[in-house]
Amino acid sequence: MKASVGGYARASDLRHALELLSGSGGLGRILAGGQSLIAAMNMRLSAGDLLVDISRVSELSGVSDAGDRLLIGALTRHVEIGGNPLIRQHAPLLSQAVQYIAHAAIRNRGTIGGALAHADPAAEFPACILALGATLHIEGLNGRRDVAAEDFFRDVFETAIGEGEILTGISVPKAEAKETQVIEEVARRSGDYALAGLCLVKRPAGHRVALFSVGPRPLLARAAMTALDKGDVEGAAQALRDDMDPPSDTQASSAYRQHLAQVLLRRAAARIEGANA
Amino acid sequence: MSEAFRDRIDITLTVNGEPVEARVASGQHLTDFLRLELGLTGAHASCEHGVCGACTVEVDGAPIRGCLMLAPQADGAEVWTVEGLTDTAAIQDLQEAFVAKNALQCGFCTPGMLVAAKDLLSRGGIPSRQEIREHMSGNYCRCTGYEAIVDAVETVAQARAGRGAA
């Protein structure tokens, strides 16, 4: 089908984008890479939007070293995340995740900020930044604020971004010396959204496990994390049952998603053990 | 509605090496612009939500989904379609290999396949069959079963590597 768009404006910088958004009478919608939004508009899941195209706002793109953290601009494209040496060194979970996201042509346009703001519960990046304990930077005409990843994802396609605000970037803590990060997922075909997925970060201070595609938003598997901290992988796999209540849909039943999450946890733990051996 | 938002947008870009100026509808995607306004019907509009890959074209040197980029966003871009890539003979060996290996039947997916394959081959070296499959996995073919397409891409990779070594 064809999109039905209310209007289009191209923002020259962040301030301009925020002014456009504020002048849109609530109909404004941020267009970045467009790989989810334009698909949704073409399917008429969204119609009449006043598009604020931020894709030329260069200040929102790129990766920089900020001491103990990496600052990743919201408009940094998936292909850039996948190839960036700073990310490969300090946040390898994100580098690994890129290979699972759709296909090359989509990774050339899609942006990390777009993926996070869209908050598809089956997407990889939201779960990654939850596992990493990243901070999201949000800006409005009234100023900036920071939101922890754990407080950012509210529900299916719902985040802490308020009316008139734009996600400008994220700060990701650099991996510590003995930290390992892995992502595992199962999809029916390469590039499809996962039936279930899991990010595992092992830090000297403890484990962090984030699940995706098993609920309305990515979630921290706290019971499994506690079990992993005690060195009990099988206990962690069993504990996942307490951490999630996955939905059944045409892609997979709830029980199958639970089974997959357990398999993925065992795989991820084995990979980390292998990496440290 | 705020006057800042327009439903017609003026854009200037190059398509297949030729400068183009146009006024486009705010919601028109790049594939429809190429097909309906410029008569370049090589890129196909099929699923129109980024799944099938039939609309794949090259924008600023990288393959993208024409259906997931709005024409207004192409302002200032350099766009290449299968027509231009054919005229410059940039993918002649790929096209000949697709014919020789029977890598197309109805041909609907072929322009997108060629643009995706060109991108993979531009990286140099000889990708494994698994790498070829992975790279082409965003392009659907409903006729061939893909084996012949992988054959064609692999053949060209080998031939180009052989020429480079000679």
- ipTM for the predicted complex comes to 0.95
What is the C-alpha to C-alpha distance for residues A228 and A182, in angstroms, rounded to an integer? 14
Tell me the backbone φ, ψ of residue B154, rounded to 5 degrees: -65, -40
Q: Which superfamily does CATH assign the domain made up of B8-85 to?
A: Beta-grasp domain (3.10.20.30)
Do residues A196 and A252 share a domain? yes
By CA distance, what is B56's nearest residue in A?
Answer: A105
Q: What is the pLDDT of residues B97-112, one digit of tens each?
A: 999 999 999 999 999 9
Position A275 scores a pLDDT of 75
Please tell me the CATH code under which domain B91-165 is placed: 1.10.150.120
What CATH number does residue A140 fall under?
3.30.465.10
Do residues A232 and A214 share a domain? yes
Position B108 scores a pLDDT of 97
What CATH number does residue A224 fall under?
3.30.390.50
Do residues A169 and A186 share a domain? no
Position B2 scores a pLDDT of 62
Domain range spanning residue A78?
A: 62-173
Position A127 scores a pLDDT of 98
Do residues A21 and A87 share a domain? no
Do residues A26 and A49 share a domain? yes
How far, rounded to the nearest angstrom, does the alpha carbon of residue B16 sit from its chain's CA centroid?
12
Do residues A147 and A247 share a domain? no
Q: Most B CBs within 10 Å: which of A22, A42, A78, A100, as the mutation test of the B interface? A: A42
Do residues A154 and A202 share a domain? no
Do residues A155 and A251 share a domain? no
Residue B4 touches partner A, C-beta closer than 8 Å? yes
Rounded to two decimals, what is the model's pTM?
0.96
pLDDT over threshold 60, residue B1:
no
Position B3 scores a pLDDT of 78
- Which of the four pLDDT bands, split at 50, 70 and 90, describes residue B85? very high
Position B95 scores a pLDDT of 98
Secondary element (H or E) of residue A268: helix A254-276
Do residues A13 and A48 share a domain? yes
Do residues A66 and A39 share a domain? no
Domain boundary among A116, A146, A173: A173
* Paired tokens of A171: 């700060």
Domain boundary among A132, A148, A173: A173
What CATH number does residue A34 fall under?
3.30.43.10
Residues 27-46 of B with CB under 8 A from A: 27-29, 32
Tell me the backbone φ, ψ of residue A68, rounded to 5 degrees: -90, 5
Domain tally, chain A: 3
Q: Among partner residues A3, A43, A109, which is closest to B27 by beta-carbon distance?
A: A3
pLDDT over threshold 80, residue B16:
yes
Q: Most A CBs within 10 Å: which of B1, B3, B5, as the mutation test of the A interface? A: B5
CB contact under 8 A, B138 and A106: yes
What is the C-alpha to C-alpha distance for residues B65 and B51, in angstroms, rounded to an integer? 9
Do residues A225 and A153 share a domain? no
Position A115 scores a pLDDT of 98
Per-residue pLDDT for chain A (277 aa), expressed as one digit of tens each? 899 999 999 999 999 999 999 999 999 999 999 999 999 999 999 999 999 999 999 999 999 999 999 999 999 999 999 999 999 999 999 999 999 999 999 999 999 999 999 999 999 999 999 999 999 999 999 999 999 999 999 999 999 999 999 999 999 999 999 999 999 999 999 999 999 999 999 999 999 999 999 999 999 999 999 999 999 999 999 999 999 999 999 999 999 999 999 999 999 999 998 877 6
C-alpha torsion angle, residues A189, A193, A198, A200 (rounded to 10):
90
Do residues A36 and A70 share a domain? no
Per-domain residue ranges of chain B: 8-85, 91-165
Integer Rg of chain A from CA: 19
